Amino acid sequence: MTKKKTKQILRIVFIVASIASLAFVPWVIVRAWITPLPDTVQEQVNDAIEYGFDGIIVYVDQAGKPPEFYAAGWHDRKNKIPANPKVLFKIASISKLYVAAAVAKLVNNKQLSLDKTLADYLPELAGSIENADKITVRMMVQHRSGIPNFTDTPGYWKNPPKDNRENLELVLDN
């Protein structure tokens, strides 16, 4: 095979490979990246649903203004239950990121100590959480407290304890 033929075959292979690689481009993300942002938060939340999210809730808390909630999509698509900011969601491990960032900021501002215990900060838990007087904030952030994951209880998400829903409503209403 001549050098010229080899170059031509390689060019064709590279062109075909380049065209084939377009199948692996995440076009939804490209579209989201180049589309101009909507004028309002609610419009942006509504647009997010078009990118394949089941539901989305946005909480905006600006100093001097009451908190605002924006929701779109479904809390439960199968049962046609719309997204609602006052409903419990299964957020799983993603919350670890937010908790770690919040704790780091509070420790940096000297508003929280990693070496104080749950009982120091939440004395009302002393009777309901075993070893609350020995479990430190550091242990909680490192997920080494020994407190069991109560959401692993069979049927928890189908019928969560009523007191958790009431506590959430209190937090959201304030």
- The sign one gets for the Cα dihedral 148, 154, 157, 161 is negative
Q: pLDDT in tens for each of the 174 residues of the chain?
A: 788 899 999 999 999 999 999 889 888 888 878 888 889 999 989 988 887 788 889 999 999 999 999 999 988 888 888 998 888 766 777 888 888 999 999 999 999 999 999 999 999 878 888 899 999 999 999 988 888 777 777 887 777 666 544 444 444 443
Residue 124 CA, chain-centre distance (Å), reads: 28
Contacts of 78 (CB under 8 A, 6+ apart): none
Q: Which helix (H) or strand (E) holds 82?
A: strand 81-82
pLDDT of residue 108: 96
Q: Which helix (H) or strand (E) holds 58?
A: strand 55-60
pLDDT of residue 169: 42
pLDDT of residue 162: 62
Q: Do 93 and 109 meet the contact criterion of CB atoms below 8 Å apart? A: no
